[in-house]
Amino acid sequence: MNPTRRTLLGATLGGAAAAVGLPATPAQAASWQLKWSPSTSAGLGAFETVEDDRADSHPEGRPHIRTEGNNWRFTMHTVDRDTSTDRQRHEVTGLRTSSSSYLRWLPGQTWRITYSMYIPSSLKATTSFTHIMQMKQPGTGTQPIVVQSLRRVDGVQTIELKLHLANIVVGRTALAPLHNTWTDVDFQIKIGDGTSGSVRWILRNGGTTVIDKARTGVDTFLADRVRPKWGIYRSLGDTSGSLQDCHLLLSNFRGYQLV
């Protein structure tokens, strides 16, 4: 991970007053407190759970999720299948702080995740879903709350953030300029039911802000808690011929709570 990129990413954390859900003139200014800063030396122990070929469809390809230098690498082969055989999934979930504990994101809380991602040109946007980050309620069979996805729109490859429950696209930008380069992600979420939630999504590339979009008054909670997921989760229903062997690199994770 480039030290300059770390500096640029860290510099964004000073603007707490601009965070979603913050009062304009608080009696005591809230601030972002670092709660999670995993190292690749912890391997996959940085996460609450790991979903690496849970259907055992391609044992020869394991590990599909592993560390590679300062990065976590997710490798997807076209032969890989999830337990639902119309899709593929290699993902990690949650923010583990020790072998016996992990962070719980609960209603009324505001969280911020920053990290860097490298999307090679082999990982393309598709006509059906390709998610590389999700916010979900833990457990099987639950819908995602928020998704960061690679989606083809009128034939154009894009990356978007969508509030899945309300079918609201928070923001969308072209994917092609972000291929084969490191992009910094800054994602903020206020967890709330009904209209008490909010999100903000920022992408930066080479110090330039590519997109900065927010949405307030939205539903960001289902039940129990919210748990983030990262990796490659995609449908096999793509009609653009974009599915191929690919990978995703993620680095320099930081998790903050607004307190």
Q: How many CB atoms lie within 10 A of CB 25?
A: 6
Task: Give pLDDT, residue 129.
Answer: 97
pLDDT at 116 over 50: yes
Q: pLDDT tier at 3 (50, 70, 90 boundaries)? A: very low
Residue 36 has a pLDDT of 98
Give the model's confidence band at 236: pLDDT under 50 very low, under 70 low, under 90 confident, else very high.
Answer: very high
Give φ, ψ of 11 to 5 degrees. Answer: -65, -20
Q: Is the pLDDT of residue 1 over 60?
A: no
Mean of all residue pLDDT scores within the chain:
92
The fraction of the chain above a pLDDT of 90, given in percent, is 86
28 band by pLDDT with thresholds 50, 70 and 90? confident
Report the SS3 class of residue 84: coil
Integer CA distances (angstroms), 142 to 87, 108, 150, 172, in order:
16, 21, 21, 24
* b/e 187-221 (16+ beta carbons within 10 angstroms → b): bbbbbbeeebbbbbbbbbbeeeebbebbbeebbbb
pLDDT digits (tens, 9 = 90+) for 238-259: 999 999 999 999 999 999 999 9
pLDDT at residue 27, rounded to an integer:
64
Chain segment 80-99, per-residue pLDDT in tens? 999 999 999 999 999 999 99
Q: Is the predicted pLDDT of residue 6 greater than 70, yes or no? A: no
Beta-ladder partners of 216: 198
**Range with the largest mean pLDDT of 10-24, 25-39, 178-192:** 178-192
Tokens of 170: 């928070």
Per-residue pLDDT tens over the stretch 140-159 = 878 999 999 999 999 999 99
CA distance 202 to 254: 15
Q: From CA 38, how far away is CA 61, in angstroms rounded?
A: 25
Query: Which whole number is the average pLDDT over 129-144?
Result: 93
Per residue in 57-76, pLDDT (tens digit) is 999 999 999 999 999 999 99
Domains in the chain: ranges and CATH: 5-9+30-258 (2.60.120.200)
Least confident of 16-30, 41-55, 75-89: 16-30
Confidence at residue 141, expressed as pLDDT on a 0 to 100 scale:
79
What per-residue confidence (pLDDT) applies to 21? 57
Which pLDDT score is estimated for 17?
42
Residue 173 has pLDDT above 50, yes or no: yes
Helices (H), the chain: 3-11
Q: Is 81 helix (H, G, I), strand (E, B) or coil?
A: coil
Higher pLDDT, 178 or 26: 178
Look up residue 86 and give its amino acid. D
Q: Who's near 109: CB < 8 A, 6+ residues apart? A: 190, 191, 257, 258
Cα separation, 56 vs 60, whole angstroms = 10
Angle at 177 between CA 173 and CA 183, to 5 degrees: 80
